[in-house]
Structure 1
């Protein structure tokens, strides 16, 4: 139907307002109408055999109909058919004929408006044809991407030569916003309209490309998820048949449950690391070789007692009671321990949280068997905290402390973390035993790790290589032990406070044996106190003749041997009710005496002096001997001596020579060998000839035992002076002191052990350096000071005066 069959334009037509879609000329489309204005417009058009114009609403159905509520360009057409629908709605078949421009509007019912034909502007056919070619190419691209694009549209536009019709056909299938669709619909410049359509199609092509990529990714992910799901379900089914279906899942659930409980007390990085490994294990097949390693790691981490602390408050009174209960003597060590815990108790009471972990690390230094480790045991009992012992003796591999990285086969956490696991608390008492015997090699230096562990500024973030996250060691009470503090590196010594535990005196050993060792060993051997008779002289004989040590470890072994034999005797002697052990029958139980410090000789002698020495097992008395042989004044020294002691012997010889030359040490002419001429002429020989015409052989007995140190200086000088002057040395005098070339006596170490050894050897006089006398005499046990005369010497002349007869 053509417009010529109707009145000329402009003319007044009924208006139908469509809500969603733009209709184009030459389109026949059904319209479903329900508003009164639209139904009235249809009825009027049919009744008067008039055309209608269909315009598109700007804002949908809502709001009042006015000139701003719809677009001013629509489609002029006629109503081909009308069908009434339920609920008052109608369906009409509309045929579009041409585009129309609404120039005027009234708000009557039906709505009528002044409409004029919308004519296109003139255009260049060549340009338009070129644009149409480009447009068709883009439409083809879009059709390949969009499966919903009408397949017959391309053929239709290729067969059509009307540019406006082509633009209308393509515009009608594009999915664009209302405003953009209106611009394309109302554009009268054909060339510009084609360019706009091309631009819209380009955007759609890009949009569809992106959508396609996203869809492919999503589909592939969904496919993989489905695949994994079905495979897991198949594995579950197989495991169910094998009877192992729920075991792994239950373990993973248990791990997650345990980890959740530790979340608030664990370090954040530790929680993340453990959670990550649990998730990794859940995805891993249980028969995988890495699964067992990962499971071991998770179990080790979850076994660490994060947040678990001993709640018992620190009490100095409890510590003091426990120390006195478990140890005899050791007054200074006990006092320092009590001071240490008094500070901690005060900080606790006053809630000085920041300083709680900044205390000193105690290090007990002393010979074996004096009670260093047992002091730590007593601290643990008093605080009611678990005790962890870390043996450092001979350790050379740094990974033993810091842990092995999980990449190594058989990797495990370090001993410190393992100690926390064993203790089941984060604040145990940890004993670092034999810290002076740490070694270093190509696998690292464990001492460097101890620098971090014992530093309060660092140990709250100690990083174990196996765990791969920092762990807090600041609440651990570290106690270290050592036999020789000099072997500990200076940087590590700086982090510790040393408490020196010296040798026990015979009297202290007697009380320890009587009150501690004997009752303990009786209980271990199933014996009652009434079944064994041990007198004081017997115990003292055992101490002096069967043990040679600073501590009481070997003494315990001797009692153990005694009670084994006693137990056998009780069983073999027809149920003997009591075994009596005395000094008379002691040999039948323990054989002959093994050790004995030689007592002071009753007879004074020339060239034999008593020197006092410190050893790893306490003090000892070493007799220094010398003889003179006709020669040229050469000094030879034997006795397995170190370089320091050899130098000390040469210094001593030089000092004695100076004493002879200056006349301080008188030499009798008769002891100087004379030549024949000197004898014939009865010449007086100079005193210095004594050391020129004699060779001196100096010997320290027990040649198999290595000896070193400068403290034998005055002893060797006295021995050389005695042999050259032919004067006797008092046999009951012992001495110790370093000698300088100027003849001064310097202080030495280990004085307590040395004087105890002199006491055991029944010496009546001991010569010690003046500075030691002023500084260290208060540390010497009273029984030692009462048993001998202790004199201070400042020069070698003082030594000669006190010891030479």
Structure 2
């Protein structure tokens, strides 16, 4: 549709003010309109078949309609179609026909404006063609670097010779601000307009080049959903170009400086690996997830105290003094520890380098609370080296020791390396606590790592998976602790020398309480020694009646409980200067007594024998009971016994049967149940009928407690012999020993704990195997040997001779 079909210009036509971009004469475009004036203009145009002028509001004046709020040029065109929308707005399809300029605008009637056509000035065709050639080249350059540039536009301007149309086409695709678009739109000097377009294209080309360069530097593939991220990255890249973002560079300088200082002390592969990661970090963007992982790795490596060693020389004299100061008794463990460090001191003095780091790893074995970890503390203080405690109890993940591979967030070095970092020295005292409680599962077996850690031939090149290079652990002094050495795998046991720390006697506990526990707890509770009175008899009563342990940990808790109540009394009664604790008022502080081991019965009994047992918390006295019931010679056992003890019970029963058959155990005729015919005939029945006509029920009390071990044989045999022969077992006798099928008594373990338990139970006689008597009696405390008779037995006959009345 041409303008000739309408009234000539200038003429008054409806005015539409749009907020977005300029339209051009060749365009057919949809417009969404909502303002009252625009709606009136559309209605008037359609009703009176009038042309309309579409112009654009100036920046900051959107929605307004006064004279200075919009540009005075626009596109004259007609409305092809109108559609009403649900929200009161309308959508029109507008066809541009020509450019127009507003000659007059009446603000009182803002729906209309007097509009004239915007004509180009005269121009030189030759000059215009030359400029268009240049323009086409610039458009091609812009298209090459701008992927969003319409591909078909180049073909269109190549085939078109109309300079005005070419200028309009190119202007419509340039992304410029409103003022710049107005300058290109309103220019009537065609030559100048084309030159302005060329200048604008050059600016856009330059801008796109800079943008592309920045995009390459941040090395990101950004999608529309990452718009915010993209803008931030651009800002950071621009800051870097301007030299305002230098935090990362300063951090890298610090890392390189630290690495240079550590180079003489680091292993070569460690230096190489760390330098490689620092260089990699320098090339990586700081907000990359891998950047954080790398930075954490570098900081962890640089935290390792390469080349730093505790300066205290090994002195056996200082070790002995510290051990004696911190621990009462424990003569044999203290002697073995001093021997260990005597060897190390001699090697240092004679400067025998290849043997300095060699030596056995000490492992303190004993019940809880006997002072295993505190011995390691004393060693640390004597050597003036930091102490690193690695708790191994329940550890199942091998990576906890060897380190996590750097393949995921949260990876970290193993506990050994972390401990060295915390100690800030390469030669700390490392306590491997509860080494007998290491576990194994699908994540690996931590005991296998301990083999490498504790082997002096291998630990100088211990490879932590997180560090990815070997680290020297040979200068560390490793001390392990365990409750039960039998639970440690054989290969790991072979790396260590075990030092037994068994139960304390009541006398030893008294001295420990008097010299160590009470002063320490008084200080912790802010009490003075003069404010509390504790007699020897009271302390002994506390030890015997209120603690149940091999060590002294619970004893410490008992004193803490007493002192807490003492503090409360002193505060409530300001006039009270001293609190006296005696056997009479002990219940006020500790409630009812708790007996660890029942004292020996005064009355002898048939079918009840005192056996001695070893437990993880010390020794114990286990009574073994039996009854006979009329039956067919069946033996039944109860008391939650393990397989070893069940087998021992069968062996014991067979041994007793053999004694009866060989007439070594006398059975009176009246004990054998007889049939009516046998009673009538008054015949003598074979003694073996006693075990054929009775069932034996053997029981060990405390059925909820699991029991197992190869040391209850003679106790069970004595109980069965007593019940079958109807002879009493001495109540003040206790025994321990394994039994063979031929009646020989075999040696057992844990003798010290067992005899201490017998002493606490006030037994007057203890029967032990001959080999234990010859081999282990020196380890038994004098207090036990002086207050209780200890006899060696070789066979079951020796046992029954001493035990049965």
TM-score between both structures, scaled by the size of structure 1: 0.71
Residues of 1 paired with 2:215 and 2:398: CA distance? 46
2:447 aligns with: 447
2:762 aligns with: 762
1:522 aligns with: 522
Residues of 2 paired with 1:708 and 1:276: CA distance? 58
**Cα distance change, pair 277–800 in 1 and its aligned pair in 2 (3 A):** same
1:602 aligns with: 602
Query: Do the aligned partners of 2:214 and 2:234 also contact (CA within 8 Å) in 1?
Result: no
**Cα distance change, pair 600–234 in 1 and its aligned pair in 2 (3 A):** closer
2:459 aligns with: 459
Residues of 1 paired with 2:401 and 2:683: CA distance? 77
Residues of 2 paired with 1:241 and 1:586: CA distance? 81
1:380-779 correspondence runs (5 A)? 380-779=380-779
1:347 aligns with: 347
Shift of 1:359: 1.1
Residues of 1 paired with 2:777 and 2:370: CA distance? 21
Aligned residue for 2:480, secondary structure, equals strand
1:34-73 correspondence runs (5 A)? none
Residues of 1 paired with 2:485 and 2:237: CA distance? 66
1:131-530 correspondence runs (5 A)? 238-239=238-239, 245-530=245-530
Aligned residue for 2:792, secondary structure, equals strand
Residues of 2 paired with 1:671 and 1:619: CA distance? 37
Residues of 2 paired with 1:630 and 1:293: CA distance? 78
Query: Do the aligned partners of 2:214 and 2:237 also contact (CA within 8 Å) in 1?
Result: no
Shift of 1:311: 1.3
Residues of 2 paired with 1:410 and 1:488: CA distance? 31
Task: Give CA-to-partner distance per residue, 1:554-598, whole Å, 9 cap, x none.
Answer: 111111111111111111123421111111111111110123311
Query: Do the aligned partners of 2:644 and 2:709 also contact (CA within 8 Å) in 1?
Result: yes
**Cα distance change, pair 536–682 in 1 and its aligned pair in 2 (3 A):** same
Residues of 1 paired with 2:551 and 2:600: CA distance? 23
Shift of 1:241: 11
Residues of 1 paired with 2:633 and 2:307: CA distance? 75
Residues of 2 paired with 1:367 and 1:379: CA distance? 20
Residues of 2 paired with 1:665 and 1:689: CA distance? 13
Shift of 1:236: 6.9
1:148 aligns with: none
1:86 aligns with: none
Residues of 2 paired with 1:676 and 1:654: CA distance? 29
Shift of 1:455: 0.6
1:49 aligns with: none
**Cα distance change, pair 285–580 in 1 and its aligned pair in 2 (3 A):** same
Residues of 2 paired with 1:589 and 1:350: CA distance? 58
Shift of 1:242: 11
**Cα distance change, pair 511–239 in 1 and its aligned pair in 2 (3 A):** farther
4+ residue stretches of structure 1 with deviation over 2 A? 226-244
Residues of 1 paired with 2:505 and 2:238: CA distance? 76
Residues of 2 paired with 1:398 and 1:485: CA distance? 21
Shift of 1:744: 0.1
Shift of 1:279: 1.1
Aligned residue for 1:560, secondary structure, equals helix
**Cα distance change, pair 492–572 in 1 and its aligned pair in 2 (3 A):** same
Shift of 1:677: 1.1
**Cα distance change, pair 575–290 in 1 and its aligned pair in 2 (3 A):** farther
| Unaligned segments of structure 1, at least 5 residues | 1-222
Residues of 1 paired with 2:632 and 2:215: CA distance? 101
**Cα distance change, pair 415–680 in 1 and its aligned pair in 2 (3 A):** same
**Cα distance change, pair 402–692 in 1 and its aligned pair in 2 (3 A):** same
Aligned residue for 2:259, secondary structure, equals helix
Residues of 1 paired with 2:239 and 2:578: CA distance? 70
Shift of 1:246: 2.2
| Unaligned segments of structure 2, at least 5 residues | 1-208, 219-232
Aligned residue for 1:519, secondary structure, equals helix
Residues of 2 paired with 1:575 and 1:590: CA distance? 24
Task: Give CA-to-partner distance per residue, 1:266-318, whole Å, 9 cap, x none.
Answer: 11111111111111111111111111111100000000000000111100010
2:137 aligns with: none
Residues of 2 paired with 1:244 and 1:595: CA distance? 76
Residues of 2 paired with 1:397 and 1:421: CA distance? 21
**Cα distance change, pair 240–531 in 1 and its aligned pair in 2 (3 A):** farther
Shift of 1:234: 8.5
Shift of 1:772: 0.2
Residues of 2 paired with 1:759 and 1:557: CA distance? 24
Aligned residue for 1:264, secondary structure, equals coil
Residues of 1 paired with 2:804 and 2:448: CA distance? 52
Task: Give CA-to-partner distance per residue, 1:473-532, whole Å, 9 cap, x none.
Answer: 000000001111111111111111111111111110110011001100111111111111
Shift of 1:238: 3.6
Aligned residue for 1:252, secondary structure, equals helix
TM-score between both structures, scaled by the size of structure 2: 0.71
RMSD value over aligned CA atoms? Answer: 1.9
Aligned residue for 1:759, secondary structure, equals helix
Residues of 1 paired with 2:779 and 2:400: CA distance? 39
**Cα distance change, pair 237–464 in 1 and its aligned pair in 2 (3 A):** closer
1:797 aligns with: 797
**Cα distance change, pair 309–682 in 1 and its aligned pair in 2 (3 A):** same
Residues of 2 paired with 1:374 and 1:533: CA distance? 28
Residues of 2 paired with 1:283 and 1:740: CA distance? 76
1:212 aligns with: none
Task: Give CA-to-partner distance per residue, 1:212-238, whole Å, 9 cap, x none.
Answer: xxxxxxxxxxx99x9799959987774
**Cα distance change, pair 482–242 in 1 and its aligned pair in 2 (3 A):** farther
| Equivalent residues, number | 582
Residues of 2 paired with 1:548 and 1:244: CA distance? 70
Query: Do the aligned partners of 2:373 and 2:433 also contact (CA within 8 Å) in 1?
Result: yes
Query: Do the aligned partners of 2:217 and 2:237 also contact (CA within 8 Å) in 1?
Result: no
Residues of 2 paired with 1:706 and 1:655: CA distance? 25
Aligned residue for 1:612, secondary structure, equals strand
Residues of 1 paired with 2:234 and 2:696: CA distance? 96
Shift of 1:239: 3.4
**Cα distance change, pair 796–278 in 1 and its aligned pair in 2 (3 A):** same
Shift of 1:328: 0.5
